[in-house]
Amino acid sequence: MRGWWREITGLVLPAACGGCGSPRTPLCEDCGRALYGTWPCRVRPAPEPVGLPTVHAAAPYEDAVRAVLLAHKERGALGLAGPLGRALGGAVQAAAPPGTSVGPLLLVPVPSTRRAVGARGHDAARRIALAAAGELRRTGRPCRVLPLLRQRRAVADQAGLGARQRLANLSGALEVPVGGARLLEGGRVVLVDDLMTTGASLVEAARALRAATGPGIPGFVQVSAAVVAAPPLSFEINRN
């Protein structure tokens, strides 16, 4: 019910820029440029956890980009899924450039907990992934979203936890349902999320996908990742 109401109010109420609050536009030109105006880069958290796949991000998590992500995820500004999907699509292109794979792009969203989805009224990462897939298909790249990962046990709220605590909290928390790995055969797997901070969620998601690898899924263990945003320091480390 909550998600349905947000969809309706997003259509009928006056829009303001999710980044700066400018009236009469869900995303102004300046904030759009901050979100998807540059080519995505490889990012590495500090410290970089063992098992982290290669990650590309569209923009640093600061200022307007931070505001847009929070408006979409926490305040239900669902109209921002399109611009965020455009940004994520660019990061996916950087993670899996055209010509580097034979099969379709398979975007696997990192799942939020049921508690978080219920509180927000929507699954932010999955919604952005669907928007990104649409953008990629419009460029001529076969692409689909496969929400295969699921929670196999409860985890604590990540807020306030350090890097090591986050890794321990999420270790073994995700799984691919029996038979789900067959859906990944022949495609280029890219883990997707809205934000990378310590990398713990992507480490666990990659582990769960690799654990599902079996005979008949050649090259499946080569998992890459793409996110909308990452901390600015992650970009600085990439440059050095």
**What would the pLDDT profile of 97-140 be if each residue is shown by its tens digit?**
988 777 899 999 999 877 777 677 888 999 999 999 999 999 99
Distance CA 201, CA 191 (A): 10
Residues of the chain above pLDDT 70, percent: 89
Least confident span in 118-127, 144-153, 164-173, 195-204: 164-173
Query: Any bridge partners for residue 57, and if so which?
Result: 41, 227
Q: What pLDDT score does 72 carry?
A: 92
| 44: confidence class by pLDDT, cuts 50, 70, 90 | very high
Weakest-pLDDT range from 7-11, 172-176, 180-184, 206-210: 7-11
What pLDDT, on a 0 to 100 scale, did the predictor assign at position 217? 53
Q: Is the pLDDT of residue 5 over 50?
A: no
Give the confidence band of 238 by pLDDT, cuts at 50, 70, 90. low
- pLDDT confidence bin for 62, thresholds 50/70/90: very high
pLDDT value at residue 9? 46
Report pLDDT for 60: 96
Q: Quick one: pLDDT at residue 14?
A: 44
Residue 63 has pLDDT above 50, yes or no: yes
pLDDT, residue 219, reads 47
E-assigned strand segments in 49-93: 55-60
Q: Which residue has the higher pLDDT, 61 or 240?
A: 61
For residue 190, list its beta bridge partners.
107, 224
Residue pair 173/155 in contact by the 8 Å Cβ criterion: yes
Predicted local distance difference test score (pLDDT) of residue 155: 78
Of 122 and 73, the one with more pLDDT = 73
**Averaged pLDDT, 218-225:** 69
Instruction: State the average pLDDT over residues 28-45.
Output: 94
On whether the CB atoms of residues 198 and 163 are closer than 8 A, the answer is yes
> E-strand spans in 96-151?
105-109, 143-145, 150-151
pLDDT digits (tens, 9 = 90+) for 184-214: 888 899 999 999 999 999 999 999 998 887 6
